[in-house]
């Protein structure tokens, strides 16, 4: 049964919406059946709307009361929270107006009733206990989110199919496994090209440490797919895997995650020693159990009550999941920070730790224990504003209305000096797949990629400019060129990509740019190739770049071209890469013939080749026609110059649009269409001017057609 939910942050409803969910129990744990736990959920009626006085206060409250938060309706002026009387009093003192929210209680009960009915329908004669098996293997109505088992299977497949790029490392046990109650190994997916030697900077990401936060582990798994599947086909994924390491603890709380997969609002681990063995309030909050800064805020930043959502555990680092995470972080990062709270890590410290949570649309950095900025606070703020440019979240220090303590950034930044951040994704715990696929994944994946780019020097590189596009002429990244052919390079650089919603980051003019072939700028033997400002002068925070690559002597095959820019502060930003292909045979090329501004006047292309074309004016359209044989696919690849935006369309003989690509300035558009019939068909390829250069000098493009 599918239930349509209004995306309200969907929290209260969505938290309990997993229709038909199977058991969330591990083998050997038959007493804690899901039916009883869902009954406990229905006994909670202390759910309120808290109308906030202003947005900054609301965002701080979302940090302090994150364990209570059920929905964040920033646009409507309120938060929905589960609150005790003293917590209501705290919010009132900060200017909140609090009122009961019976509609959310009813919504939750309706969903839990539907879940229970579906579970009983599948288990006739077993109303009290759904099962004692490991649990569901997919999440009903949330097909975009992998279960623990599906996550582990995907990671194992990377290690099995790409052993030179991926390994699946056992780093410890979950609480249930440590007690012989089923449970899971704690595993890290390590991604790097093992064939490239040398010490490599490391990006460590953990996700789903709070079980009910659905979007977190799938996003990080998608990042793994981007890296592994992009190796050899995406130049940035390739150089990151060659020269950096990425370590992913995808399921940091697998026992608790199984409870959440069954529809429960489960945050903590499942330790039965805390709050009673049959309580759905049991367990420790793993993100209050870390050793550094544990219980240092006098009870403000965590709770000593075992039944509270932020229960810190009886001692620092008491939980096996935290022990495994801490030990692994200490094993991959050296200690670069002194023993005092005010000791800064050296500016050249490498490494980044990201802890991926939901929700509240925030990018956070230390300290959370005090309002005093961290000793590396300025650099942390700069990188945080870079991350927030991609996902459009609010960047801020991680202290809320009150401090938090015992959090995951303690081991990485507090102990070791590694740049550490928390992402709070989206607007609800059980976020709808449409929102996850439509905004959360596409907006946050680039932020993770950026982290992998700057991990070599995260306290320095983010203050330098970004390379946003790189394009090579003569289709040198596609069909390729013969050695000795001069290749034009066009690129764009900007120093402006910061989120300034919570303070403004300084920007400078670009004052230099350079390219490298095969050897990146940080490596021994790197040779810079100077690039020029396309307008003749470096005098702006955003610049178009141009240069020529000498390919003489390059061996056959695929090469990596690295491009970076420097701003007036003297800081280089991260590199962006493009492939350069050297071939033994010059690919066939032809020039377009005008007029060809309609399907009737289309230039015929009788064999696979690259067409050299020109956008003569802002109203120009160029058409080409291909006779596509049965069973073949036509690949059309349009490469404009870096300052222009030309669009690509493919039509059938009747003029019906079959495919399009409209990516933007400097981007390479690509469309593939297939002929699934039994006879040859005509396919018309159209290149349309959208913006940028025109004419013989600035209006050039290449169109690669292959089938």
Backbone phi, psi, residue 369, to 5°: -85, -15
Confidence of residue 4 (pLDDT cuts 50, 70, 90): very low
Rounded-to-integer distance, Cα 17 and Cα 430, Å: 8
Q: Is residue 14 scored above 60 in pLDDT? A: no
Query: How many Å from the N-terminal Cα to the C-terminal Cα in the chain?
Result: 45
Q: Which two tokens stand for residue 574?
A: 């991260």
Say which residue, 121 or 125, is predicted with more confidence.
121
Residue 656 has pLDDT above 50, yes or no: yes
Q: Is the pLDDT of residue 132 over 50?
A: no
User: Is the pLDDT confidence value at 387 over 50?
Assistant: yes
Residue 237 — pLDDT band, cuts 50, 70, 90?
A: very high
Q: Which pLDDT does position 105 carry in this prediction?
A: 85
Please state, in angstroms and rounded to a whole number, the distance separating the CA atoms of residues 587 and 482.
Answer: 9
User: Which DSSP helix (H) or strand (E) runs through 488?
Assistant: strand 487-494
| Structural domains of the chain in order of their starting residue, each with its CATH number | 11-122 (no CATH), 148-461 (3.40.630.10), 464-582 (2.60.40.2550), 589-706 (2.60.120.380)
Tokens for 430, please give them. 């059980």
Is the pLDDT reported for residue 140 higher than 80?
no
The 10s digit of each residue's pLDDT in 254-274 is: 999 999 888 888 999 999 999
Q: Are 582 and 518 in contact (CB under 8 A)?
A: no
d(CA 288, CA 290): 6
Instruction: Please check the confidence at residue 136 and state whether its pLDDT lies above 50.
Output: no
Whether the Cβ atoms of residue 223 and residue 248 lie closer than 8 Å to each other: yes
* pLDDT mean across residues, the chain: 90
The pLDDT of residue 381 is: 99
The predicted model scores a pTM of: 0.79
With a cut of 90, say whether residue 130 has pLDDT above it.
no
pLDDT for 122 equals 56
- 138 — phi, psi (to 5°)? -155, 160
pLDDT digits (tens, 9 = 90+) for 501-513: 999 999 999 999 9
Window from 84-88, 275-279, 546-550, 675-679 with minimum mean pLDDT: 675-679
Q: Is the pLDDT of residue 326 over 70?
A: yes
Burial state string for 370-405 with b = 16 or more CB within 10 A and e = fewer than 16? beeebbbbebbbbbbbbbbbbbebbbbbbbbbbbbb
Strands (DSSP E) contained in 652-694 are 657-661, 669-674, 681-691
Express as a percent the part of the chain with pLDDT over 70.
91
Q: Is residue 113 over pLDDT 90?
A: no
Rounded to whole angstroms, how far apart are CA atoms 586 and 474?
Answer: 10
Place of tokens 């229970």: 116
Choose between 281 and 107: higher pLDDT.
Answer: 281
Average pLDDT over residues 334-353: 98
pLDDT at 37: 83
φ, ψ of residue 330 in degrees (nearest 5): -65, -25
H helix runs in 123-162, sequence order: 148-161
What pLDDT shows up at residue 303? 95
Residues 6+ apart with CB under 8 A from 43: none
Where helices occur in 578-706 by DSSP H, the ranges are: 695-698
To which H or E segment does residue 229 belong? helix 216-230
HSE-CB of 251 using CA atoms within 13 angstroms: 30
163-215 residue pLDDT tens: 999 999 999 999 999 999 999 999 999 999 999 988 999 999 999 999 999 99
In sequence order, the 6+-apart residues with CB closer than 8 A to the CB of 408 are 206, 209, 287, 290, 325, 353, 355, 420, 422
Q: Which residue has better confidence, 144 or 631?
A: 144
Supply the pLDDT for residue 118.
59
User: Token pair 């390491």 is at which residue?
Assistant: 245
Q: Is the pLDDT of residue 343 over 80?
A: yes
How deeply is 215 buried, as exposed, middle or buried, from its count of CB atoms within 10 A (0-12, 13-18, 19+)?
Answer: buried
Side-by-side strand order, sheet with 419-425:
166-173, 185-191, 245-249, 202-207, 352-358, 419-425, 362-365, 394-397
* 305-330 as b/e: b if 16+ CB within 10 A: ebebbbbbbeebbbbbbbbbbbebbe
Half-sphere exposure of 566 (CA within 13 A, CB side): 15
**Band of residue 30 on the pLDDT scale cut at 50, 70, 90:** very low
């Amino acid at each position: 049964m599918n239930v349509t939910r209004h995306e309200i942050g969907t929290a209260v409803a969505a938290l309990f919406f997993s229709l038909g969910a199977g058991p969330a129990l591990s083998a050997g744990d038959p007493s804690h059946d899901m039916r009883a736990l869902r009954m406990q959920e229905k006994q909670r009626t202390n759910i309120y709307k808290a109308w906030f006085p202003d947005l900054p206060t609301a965002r701080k409250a979302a940090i302090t009361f994150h364990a209570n938060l059920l929905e964040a309706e920033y646009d409507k002026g309120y938060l929905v929270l589960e609150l005790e009387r003293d917590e209501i009093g705290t919010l009132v003192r900060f200017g909140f107006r609090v009122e009961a929210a019976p509609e959310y209680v009813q919504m939750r009960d309706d969903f839990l009733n539907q879940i229970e009915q579906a579970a009983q329908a599948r288990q006739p004669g077993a109303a009290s206990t759904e099962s004692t098996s490991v649990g569901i293997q997919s999440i009903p109505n949330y097909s975009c989110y992998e279960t623990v088992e599906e996550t582990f299977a995907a990671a194992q497949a990377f290690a099995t199919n790409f052993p030179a790029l991926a390994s699946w490392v056992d780093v410890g046990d979950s609480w249930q496994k440590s007690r012989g109650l089923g449970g899971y190994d704690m595993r890290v997916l390590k991604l790097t090209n093992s064939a490239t030697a040398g010490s490599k900077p490391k990006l460590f990401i953990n996700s789903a440490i709070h079980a009910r936060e659905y979007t977190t582990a799938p996003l990080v798994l998608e990042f793994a797919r981007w890296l592994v599947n992009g190796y050899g086909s995406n130049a940035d994924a390739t150089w990151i895997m060659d020269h950096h390491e990425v370590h992913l603890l995808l399921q940091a709380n697998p026992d608790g995650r199984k409870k959440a997969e069954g529809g429960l609002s489960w945050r903590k681990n499942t330790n039965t020693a805390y709050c009673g063995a049959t309580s759905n309030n049991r367990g420790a909050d793993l993100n209050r159990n870390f050793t550094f800064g544990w219980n240092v805020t006098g009870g403000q930043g965590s709770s000593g009550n075992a039944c509270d959502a932020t229960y810190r555990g009886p001692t620092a680092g008491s939980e096996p999941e935290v022990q495994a995470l801490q030990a692994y972080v200490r094993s991959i990062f050296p200690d670069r920070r002194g023993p005092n709270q005010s000791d800064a890590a050296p500016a050249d410290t490498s490494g980044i730790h990201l802890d991926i949570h939901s929700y509240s649309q925030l990018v956070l950095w230390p300290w959370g224990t005090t309002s005093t900025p961290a000793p590396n606070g300025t650099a942390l703020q700069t990188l945080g504003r870079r991350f927030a440019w991609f996902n459009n979240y609010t960047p801020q220090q991680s202290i809320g209305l009150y401090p938090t303590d015992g959090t995951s950034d303690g081991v990485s930044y507090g102990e070791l000096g590694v740049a550490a951040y928390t992402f709070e994704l989206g607007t609800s715990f059980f976020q709808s797949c449409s929102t996850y696929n439509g905004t959360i994944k596409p907006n946050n994946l680039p932020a993770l990629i950026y982290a992998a780019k700057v991990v070599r020097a995260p306290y320095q590189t983010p203050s330098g400019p970004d390379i946003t596009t790189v394009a090579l002429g003569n289709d040198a990244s596609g069909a390729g060129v013969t050695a000795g052919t001069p290749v034009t390079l066009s690129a764009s650089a900007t120093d402006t990509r910061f989120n300034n919603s919570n303070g403004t980051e300084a920007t400078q003019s670009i004052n230099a740019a350079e390219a490298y072939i095969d050897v990146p700028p940080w490596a021994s033997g790197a040779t810079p190739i100077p690039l020029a400002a396309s307008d003749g002068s470096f005098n702006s925070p955003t610049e178009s770049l141009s240069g020529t690559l000498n390919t003489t002597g390059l061996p056959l095959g695929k090469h990596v071209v690295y491009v970076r820019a420097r701003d007036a502060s003297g800081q280089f930003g991260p590199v962006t890469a493009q492939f350069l292909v050297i071939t033994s045979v010059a690919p066939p090329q032809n020039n377009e013939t005008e007029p060809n501004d309609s399907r009737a006047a289309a230039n015929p292309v009788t064999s696979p080749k690259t067409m050299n074309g020109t956008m003569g004016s802002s109203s120009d359209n160029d058409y080409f026609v291909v006779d596509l044989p049965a069973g073949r696919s036509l690949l059309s690849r349009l490469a404009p110059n870096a300052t222009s935006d030309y669009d690509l369309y493919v039509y059938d003989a009747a003029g019906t649009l079959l495919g399009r690509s409209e990516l933007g300035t400097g981007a390479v558009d690509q469309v593939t269409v297939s002929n699934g019939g039994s006879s040859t068909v005509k396919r018309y390829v159209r290149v349309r001017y959208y913006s940028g250069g025109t004419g013989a000098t600035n209006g050039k493009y290449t169109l690669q057609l292959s089938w």
